[in-house]
Amino acid sequence: IELEKQQKPKTPQTYLEALEELVAITKEKERLQSLNNALCHVTKTYIASELAKEIGLKSAKELNKKLHEKGIQFKQNDTWLPYAKYSNLGLYDIKQGVTSNGHVYYNSQFTQKGRQFVLALFGAE
């Protein structure tokens, strides 16, 4: 009985105790999320060449063509973009740049979530 009492979570008895517990839980959740992000390289993006090699394709061109054939992406102004169905899933990170002569260009890269999607799509995970 004593062991069960020790393991039973304590229910907050006051509003202040509940808030303190919520703050502690939120801080722990943020700490774990930060650790998870670091371990999963959440902020890292991958170019198509990296993913192509990872799944055994010869080039980024081949990967992009296959993704286009599967209805996942299309090419516009020399940039591969996701179709609407995939545009809000966080699979791509579109980076904008400017050349020294003022030309604006876009570079489409895969997020960690996009990498996992592509690996699963091609059965490489």
pLDDT in tens, 19-73: 999 999 999 998 888 777 666 656 789 999 999 999 999 999 999 999 999 999 9
What distance in Å separates the CA atoms of residue 67 and residue 122, rounded to the nearest whole number? 10
What distance in Å separates the CA atoms of residue 85 and residue 6, rounded to the nearest whole number? 50
Average pLDDT, whole number, for the chain? 87
What distance in Å separates the CA atoms of residue 50 and residue 111, rounded to the nearest whole number? 12
